[in-house]
Amino acid sequence: FFISMAFICFHQDEEILIPGEAIRFRVIANSNTVTDQKEKMMIKEQVEKEVYELIKDASNASDVRNIIKSNMDTIESIVTEYQVPYQIDYGNNYFPAKSYRGVVYPAGNYESLVITLGNGAGNNFWCVLFPPLCLLENSSEDISDIDYQLYVKKLLQGF
């Protein structure tokens, strides 16, 4: 307890920065109806699972970029199964600011894989695909915000 409190006190203002070469992933729902939001999450889960299988051995952003670009047809085939209008874009895309478990992700244009469903007027899901923070965010483990911040910081130090 005392170690955690000391960490909070001494590192409270320390900002965790996502590296510039990070690659993000975003799925924007057609609308905020229950059906469209559920569809967004099913597509997100399938695409995320496939992409992680493809990039699991990649050691840098350049490798990840090349793997994603050369497998866009695989990603498109997943989305096509849902028979909903969509647009897939890999490039420099705008992301709103996000704060998650004490880590701030500033708004801006970032290299990313973005899937827009239908009108793209619904809530979106997004995470950092590389370094692999999406896996951590979707972990079933019950970790504290402090543990999450420590893990993210440690993971990012390796990139």
* The model's pTM: 0.79
- Tell me the pLDDT band of 148, cut-offs 50, 70 and 90: low
Residue 108 reports pLDDT greater than 50: yes
Question: Please, which residues have CB within 8 angstroms of residue 114's CB and are 6 or more apart in sequence?
Answer: 25, 26, 27, 28, 88, 89, 90, 93
How many alpha carbons lie under 13 Å from residue 76 in its C-beta half-sphere?
9
